[in-house]
Amino acid sequence: MAVDSGLDIKAGFAPLGFTFGEDMFGPQPELRRLDAIRPSLLNPECDGPDPVYAIAMDVGRPRDRRELQERHLLFGVVAYAAGQLGAEPVRSQGHVHRISRFSGWSPPEIFEIWQGRAVIYMQERAEDDPGRCIAIDARAGDRVVVPPAWAHAVISADPSEPLVFGAWCDRDYGFEYEGVRAHGGLAWFPLLENGAISWKPNNRYRPSTIQIRPARSYPELRLDSQIPLYTLLEHDPEAIQWVSQPDLKRDIWAQFEP
């Protein structure tokens, strides 16, 4: 992969999946089929790669199992196929995190891009008024934080290259799709035009504006960019503890800027 993930893991693309090293644990990946993505696409009848992506939740080193369980943290890895979904880039359908029984919050999430180029799109709500709508352009090595309760999707910005990334999640993770599906997708559709992404509003929401930003560092969250995201568990676990305990950062979430 293009950057050091801190893990002995390799992504494969024919077929989509992962190979784990001897000092690793990880499940058989789940494959997200194109039919599952269709309800959230601008053109649900489009052609595209199938499966669209592979996802493996609860990946790590055996020596970290107890700490992962005690901290209620889970690390997931995802590999996207190259290509397009009609006029749109390869992408997830969009969801909100289910409220965790552990924390009582809809948990935040941290993404780290390992290969390819991504756009992390997020909106405050999956309701008629989506609130702030923000698209973060992320390259290999960049990180993006999605705040609690925001609807979001990961988009592959380069159809010529597969996208691979890892993410810290709450161990009691769950995805809610109802609000997104009720609106036929998120508030903005990404379109590929001459190799670049443009944005088309989804008229099933109230009018909104979209902010497009580069990825940033997060000094307020103490995320050391010199240490691979997974490896923070060993070097500075408190820097990621707020993923499963968002209340630790309660004061910053209302005005948080992704």
Which 3-state string (H, E, C) describes the chain? CCCCCCCCEEEEECCEEEEECCCCECCCCEEECHHHHHHHCCCCCCCCCCCCEEEEECCECHHHHHHHHHCCEEEEEEEECCCEECCEECECCCEEECCCCCCCCCCCEEEEEEECCEEEEEECCCCCCCCCEEEEEECCCCEEEECCCCEEEEEECCCCCCCEEEEEEECCCCEECHHHHHCCCCCEEEEEECCEEEEEECCCCCCCCEEEEECCCCHHHCCCCCCCCCCHHHHCHHHCHHHCCHHHHHHHHCCCCC
Which of 164, 154, 162, 119 is CA-nearest to residue 4?
164
Q: Please say if the pLDDT value at position 2 is more than 80.
A: no
pLDDT of 1 reads 64
In the predicted structure, residue 13 carries a pLDDT above the cut 80 = yes
pLDDT given at position 194: 87
Mean per-residue pLDDT, 218-229: 92
pLDDT attached to residue 23: 94
Calculate mean pLDDT across residues 63-75.
97
pLDDT of residue 246: 98
What six digits make up the tokens of 6? Answer: 């801190």
Reported confidence tier of residue 176, pLDDT bands at 50, 70, 90: very high
- Kindly report, residue by residue over 150-169, the tens digit of the pLDDT: 999 999 999 999 999 999 99
Q: Please give the domain boundaries of the chain with CATH numbers for all domains.
A: 9-253 (2.60.120.10)
For 133-150, b/e burial (b = at least 16 CB within 10 A) is bbbbbbebebbbbbbbbb
pTM of the model: 0.96
pLDDT, tens only, 41-57: 999 999 999 999 999 99
For the chain, give the percent of residues with pLDDT over 70: 100
CA 5, CA 57: separation in Å to the nearest integer? 15
Residue 58 has pLDDT above 80, yes or no: yes
Mean pLDDT of the chain: 96
pLDDT (average), residues 135-154: 98
pLDDT digits (tens, 9 = 90+) for 191-222: 999 889 999 999 999 999 999 999 999 999 98
Please report which confidence band the pLDDT of residue 85 belongs to, taking 50, 70 and 90 as the band edges.
very high
Mean pLDDT for 69-90 is 98
- d(CA 73, CA 166) in angstroms, rounded, equals 13
Is pLDDT at 239 greater than 80 in this prediction?
A: yes
Yes or no: say if 243 and 110 are a contact pair by the CB < 8 Å rule: yes
